[in-house]
């Protein structure tokens, strides 16, 4: 991976704008197409945020069709499955170009943004290459496959001054709700007594059974359209089976973390913001699930409990296996849980600025204005960490203690091996 920064992509847009203006000023505007100059009903290149989409299952929905009357938006699509690649090229139209190796996409200076739609085991490497190449990032959930990968991405986004948006939007709805905004202020004040810390049960559709892996599969012939070695990438080599690809990859630890990792960031994004936990992680985690967990296939679980230092507790319930968690739910706190003096202090705390980043169009606005998205890399890493902690508790079968600052388990070597899983050579994070 390259270690040098590339010039800000806005330089290219400014050059085009100045060139078009100069041409019209010397009487040459009649030979410049309307799509170059812009105007009503037309988008000029100087106002266009270009994109490449990498991973064309989910990513095909982010492949915008280029229109003759506007500057092209989708300049590249990339996938290791040639059939999917052909489908997305047809959707985008000219001048979009197709690639099988995402690293070739990063060499193009005319691409502003990368939409990372691959299976999660590829997220970290694609994001790191993109950040180092001076490109902004829209990344599907979960942010990364392992905890250590998420911190690498967050550090790179900050180091190279890139805009990052995760593909979940729960925090934006929460930030518009006056009750949730007040809860966030209460939680951030430090005034809430520990005995009144919230206990929140999350019973969303985690798709646990749907995204459980097969445990009795047999190798199958590799389809001619699929580059299986590149699909695996940093994951350990295993023979091909159709169930390990295209959607159902979510059921295997090598690629994802089951339904919990697939759906969890959707459910937790707004909860994490409301509880004012964007800057930290739980210190304890335990799970109720069959043990031992299968070493290859994600499986069933009943509930997971995560507890923060201040006593705040999150409980995930799958409702697909075993019994419910025995604890009673104690919902979000209110001003009545504070002393009259503390109530006045909290009420005087001003509201935060509105967040940018709710959806790909707000992401585009953040890119143009060079402003952070609400779902930026730091907060998305902390949110994804909740899912990874839960899955590690499921896999180890015991209660674990965690250090949020060091992002390591305390006194548990086996659990820590699942924090930073080695990549298959020649792939690596550094």
Q: Total domain count for the chain?
A: 2
Mean model confidence pLDDT for the chain = 90
Out of 145, 170, 195, pick the residue that ends a domain. Answer: 170
- Evaluate whether residue 428 is within a structural domain: no
DSSP string of 208-230, one letter each residue: TTTTPPPSS----PPPTTB-HHH
Residue 325 token pair = 């968690």
Assess whether 288 and 341 both reside in one domain: yes
- Evaluate whether residue 274 is within a structural domain: yes
Assess whether 389 and 303 both reside in one domain: yes
Is the pLDDT assigned to residue 133 strictly greater than 60?
yes
Assess whether 131 and 258 both reside in one domain: no
**pLDDT above 70 coverage of the chain, percent:** 88
* Residue among 257, 143, 253, 232 nearest 424 (CA): 232
What's residue 359's pLDDT?
67
Q: Using CA atoms, how far apart are residues 298 and 315, in angstroms rounded to an integer?
A: 19
pLDDT band (50, 70, 90) for residue 163: very high
Is the pLDDT assigned to residue 233 strictly greater than 90?
yes
Q: What is the pTM of this model?
A: 0.89
- Evaluate whether residue 44 is within a structural domain: yes
Out of 139, 170, 201, pick the residue that ends a domain. Answer: 170
Assess whether 157 and 292 both reside in one domain: no
Average pLDDT (412-419) is 98
- Evaluate whether residue 5 is within a structural domain: no
Out of 142, 170, 198, pick the residue that ends a domain. Answer: 170
What's residue 12's pLDDT?
52
Assess whether 395 and 314 both reside in one domain: yes
- Evaluate whether residue 86 is within a structural domain: yes
In the β-sheet with 400-403, what is the strand arrangement from edge to edge? 199-202, 313-317, 303-307, 284-288, 400-403, 408-409
Average pLDDT (138-145) is 96
Is the pLDDT assigned to residue 33 strictly greater than 80?
no
- Evaluate whether residue 272 is within a structural domain: yes
pLDDT band (50, 70, 90) for residue 172: confident
CB 209 within 8 A of CB 365: no
CB 58 within 8 A of CB 117: yes
Is the pLDDT assigned to residue 27 strictly greater than 90?
no
What domain range includes position 119?
10-170
Three-class secondary structure of residue 182 per DSSP = helix
pLDDT in tens, 265-310: 999 999 999 999 999 999 999 999 999 999 999 999 999 999 999 9
Assess whether 157 and 185 both reside in one domain: no
Assess whether 146 and 207 both reside in one domain: no
Assess whether 61 and 177 both reside in one domain: no
Assess whether 340 and 401 both reside in one domain: yes
Residue 427 token pair = 């792939």
- Evaluate whether residue 361 is within a structural domain: no
Q: Using CA atoms, how far apart are residues 114 and 116, in angstroms rounded to an integer?
A: 6
Contacts of 227 (CB under 8 A, 6+ apart): 80, 81, 100
Assess whether 205 and 304 both reside in one domain: yes
Assess whether 179 and 118 both reside in one domain: no
Average pLDDT (8-19) is 48
Assess whether 76 and 88 both reside in one domain: yes
Residue 374 token pair = 């609400």
Rg (CA), the chain: 23
pLDDT in tens, 315-337: 999 999 999 999 999 999 999 99
pLDDT band (50, 70, 90) for residue 357: low
pLDDT band (50, 70, 90) for residue 354: confident
| CATH number for the domain that contains residue 148 | 3.40.50.720
- Evaluate whether residue 133 is within a structural domain: yes
What's residue 394's pLDDT?
98
Q: Using CA atoms, how far apart are residues 128 and 225, in angstroms rounded to an integer?
A: 27
């Amino acid at each position: 991976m390259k270690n040098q920064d590339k010039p800000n992509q806005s330089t290219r847009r400014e050059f085009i704008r100045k060139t078009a203006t100069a041409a019209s000023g010397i009487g040459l505007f009649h030979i410049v197409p309307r799509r170059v100059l812009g105007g009503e009903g037309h988008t000029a290149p100087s106002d266009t945020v270009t994109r490449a989409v990498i991973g064309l299952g989910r990513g095909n929905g982010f492949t915008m069709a280029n229109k003759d009357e506007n500057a092209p938006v989708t300049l590249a699509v990339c996938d290791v499955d040639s059939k999917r690649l052909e489908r997305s090229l047809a959707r985008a139209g000219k001048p979009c170009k197709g690639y099988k190796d995402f690293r070739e996409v990063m060499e193009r200076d005319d691409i502003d943004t990368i939409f990372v739609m691959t299976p999660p085991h590829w997220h970290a490497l694609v994001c790191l290459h993109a950040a180092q190449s001076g490109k902004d990032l829209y990344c599907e959930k979960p942010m990364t496959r392992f905890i250590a990968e998420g911190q690498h991405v967050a550090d790179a986004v900050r180091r190279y001054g890139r805009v990052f948006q995760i593909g979940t939007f729960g925090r934006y709805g929460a930030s518009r709700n006056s009750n949730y905004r007040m809860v966030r202020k209460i939680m951030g004040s430090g005034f809430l007594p520990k005995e009144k810390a919230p206990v929140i049960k999350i019973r969303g559709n985690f798709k646990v059974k749907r995204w459980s892996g097969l445990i009795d599969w047999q190798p199958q012939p590799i389809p001619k359209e699929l580059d299986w070695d590149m699909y695996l990438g940093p994951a350990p080599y295993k023979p091909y089976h159709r169930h390990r690809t295209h959607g159902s990859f979510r059921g295997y630890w090598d690629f994802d973390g089951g339904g919990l990792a697939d759906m969890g960031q959707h459910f937790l994004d707004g909860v994490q913001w409301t509880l004012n936990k964007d800057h930290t992680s739980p210190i304890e985690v335990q799970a109720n699930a069959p043990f031992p967990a299968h070493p290859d296939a994600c499986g069933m679980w009943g509930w997971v409990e995560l507890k923060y230092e201040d006593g705040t507790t999150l409980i995930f319930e799958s409702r697909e296996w075993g019994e419910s968690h025995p604890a009673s739910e104690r919902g979000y706190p209110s001003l009545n849980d504070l002393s009259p003096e503390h109530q006045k202090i909290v009420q005087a705390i001003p509201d935060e600025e509105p967040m940018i980043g709710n959806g790909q169009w707000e992401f585009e606005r953040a890119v143009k204005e060079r402003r952070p998205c609400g779902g930026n890399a730091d907060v998305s890493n902390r949110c994804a960490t909740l899912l990874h902690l839960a899955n590690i508790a499921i896999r180890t079968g015991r209660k674990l203690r965690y250090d949020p600052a060091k992002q390591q388990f305390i006194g548990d070597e086996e659990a820590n091996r699942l924090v930073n899983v080695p990549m298959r050579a020649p792939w690596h994070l550094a």
